[in-house]
């Protein structure tokens, strides 16, 4: 994990939907070249926080990206700085995989996947190579399996080449092979210089792959720290109401939810 200055800073961020307070007083600072897991019970406000950080929902407080207030950035500039991967991988149009990945270049002005400039074409090819999609690049996305579509969705995000990647439950409903594969790709993106924030319910993947873990409960940030601290037994008991097995394998931490408390 990098010790560089924080790239993304949030100060007292809050979000209200009608009269309901969804987030309250969330403050954090995160640096690039790190993978951050955002965990918490259902309804904790994880997706709302992800969207608030990118300026996608009205929020109080301030979010800064590389020292600039996100709210003051143009929509196009925000789209260049934040690559957002929402929940699910539903695609209803039978587009070739390469064209779907090319949509990631839209914030850079590439509006036609069939007419990419050299820089955009190179970014698309890098994303396809990083996600091992070369043999599927000309296939229609509607013909692919769920795991393959997840890789295409991630490739579209990687093609943006944004400094921040926000991924909302990217491995939900995937089998273990693709869960590990997609999480590994996000980890690689962080190693290559991005700040990657991943909403996940898989505490085992968070323990193994994350540099830091944000624990959210009832719209408030309970803890922001390394996995060993954020996923400690007392936190799991108080926030998630579970007991878990803690161990290690191949020099990496293992956390397995074991029983409800």
Query: Which domains does the chain show, CATH number per domain?
Result: 8-260 (3.40.50.300)
User: What are the two backbone dihedrals, phi and then psi, of residue 64, each rounded to the nearest 5 degrees?
Assistant: -115, 135
pLDDT digits (tens, 9 = 90+) for 72-106: 999 999 999 999 999 876 677 899 999 999 999 99
How would residue 2 be classed by pLDDT, with cut points 50, 70 and 90? very low
User: What are the two backbone dihedrals, phi and then psi, of residue 57, each rounded to the nearest 5 degrees?
Assistant: -135, 150
pLDDT digits (tens, 9 = 90+) for 232-260: 999 999 999 999 999 999 999 999 999 99
pLDDT digits (tens, 9 = 90+) for 115-173: 899 999 999 999 999 999 999 999 999 999 989 999 999 999 999 999 999 999 999 98
Beta bridge partners of 140: 96
Q: Tell me what the mean pLDDT of segment 194-215 comes to.
A: 97
- Crossing angle of helices 146-160 and 176-191, rounded to 10°: 10
How would residue 1 be classed by pLDDT, with cut points 50, 70 and 90? very low
Q: What angle do CA 260, 87, 131 make, to 5 degrees?
A: 110
Determine if the pTM surpasses 0.75.
yes
pLDDT digits (tens, 9 = 90+) for 162-193: 999 999 999 998 999 999 999 999 999 999 99
Query: What tokens does 131 get?
Result: 């996600």
Percent pLDDT > 70 in the chain is: 98
| Residue 146 zone, left/alpha/beta (φ > 0; ψ -120 to 50; rest) | alpha
Whether the pLDDT of residue 195 is over 50: the answer is: yes
């Amino acid at each position: 994990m990098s010790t560089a200055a924080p790239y993304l800073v949030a100060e007292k961020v809050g979000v209200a939907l009608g009269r309901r307070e969804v987030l309250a007083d969330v403050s954090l600072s995160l640096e690039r070249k790190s993978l951050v897991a955002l965990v918490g019970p259902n309804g904790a406000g994880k997706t709302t926080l992800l969207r608030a950080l990118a300026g996608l929902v009205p929020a109080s407080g301030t979010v800064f990206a590389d020292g600039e207030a996100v709210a003051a950035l143009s929509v196009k500039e925000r789209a260049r700085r934040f690559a957002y991967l929402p929940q699910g991988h539903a695609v209803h149009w039978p587009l070739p995989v390469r064209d779907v990945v090319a949509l990631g270049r839209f914030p850079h002005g590439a509006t036609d996947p069939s007419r990419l400039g050299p820089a955009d074409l190179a970014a698309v090819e890098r994303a396809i190579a990083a996600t091992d999609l070369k043999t599927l690049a000309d296939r229609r996305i509607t013909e692919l399996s769920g795991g393959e579509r997840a890789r295409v969705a991630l490739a579209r995000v990687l093609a943006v080449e944004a400094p921040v990647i926000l991924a909302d439950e990217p491995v939900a409903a995937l089998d273990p092979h693709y869960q590990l594969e997609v999480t590994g790709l996000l980890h690689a993106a962080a190693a290559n210089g991005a700040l990657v924030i991943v909403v996940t319910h898989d505490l085992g993947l968070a323990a193994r792959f994350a540099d830091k873990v944000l624990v959210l409960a009832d719209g408030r940030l309970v803890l922001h720290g390394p996995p060993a601290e954020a996923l400690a037994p007392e936190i799991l008991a108080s926030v998630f109401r579970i007991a878990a097995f803690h161990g290690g394998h191949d020099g990496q931490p293992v956390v397995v939810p074991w029983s409800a408390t």
